[in-house]
Structure 1
């Protein structure tokens, strides 16, 4: 029977090896969206920091930090939320929601 200390040592060593083999962070990803209300935007998703930079057709730019989500990627601040799942998503601005789809 192995001791708890030995098991813990192997667990820590395994985690350290796995972290070292993980390689570089994933590259940023960009997608274009068209929403049901006519809004057009380009979203660039970054890993460090975890965020979505939204560039709207009128030139307005907004960067939303990633927040906890049980499903999909969710990015939000106090007035705006962009929640993506698969090839679609939902943009909510000041309580007004619109469904969006990728153009790609």
Structure 2
């Protein structure tokens, strides 16, 4: 009987720890200010980034495997980031350096 009580306690503890490690379900939104003065509002979801452009368009970029940092891309748009810095690329243009707005 005591052994089953210990097992139940351990199982309950594991469930509680897992619940603490679960990320929030609401997406995080970050504003980036880019070197050209433009502002990108990015809403990060579990598997994609929704990028609100200065002209009002919103682009959904699926998450890509990245060795380090983050990488979201479509054939036309790319957002890469690490820490407070990101690069935004449209087509074959030179990547634009952006930083989290504080």
Question: Same fold by TM (over 0.5)?
Answer: yes
Query: Please, which runs of 5 or more residues in structure 2 have no aligned partner?
Result: 1-13
| CA shift in 2, pair 1:19/1:88, >3 Å | farther
1:100 paired residue number: 98
Deviates more, 1:68-77 or 1:22-31: 22-31
Match of 1:22 among 18, 34, 37: 18
TM-score when normalising by structure 2:
0.74
Match of 1:53 among 50, 54, 57: 50
TM-score by length of 1: 0.73
Aligned-CA RMSD value:
2.0
Say how many residue pairs are matched.
Answer: 86
Whichever structure has more strand as a proportion of its residues is 1
Q: Which runs of 4+ in 1 moved over 4 A?
A: 18-21
In structure 1, distance between residues paired with 2:34 and 2:67: 23
- 1:74-85 superposed matches below 5 A: 74-85=71-82
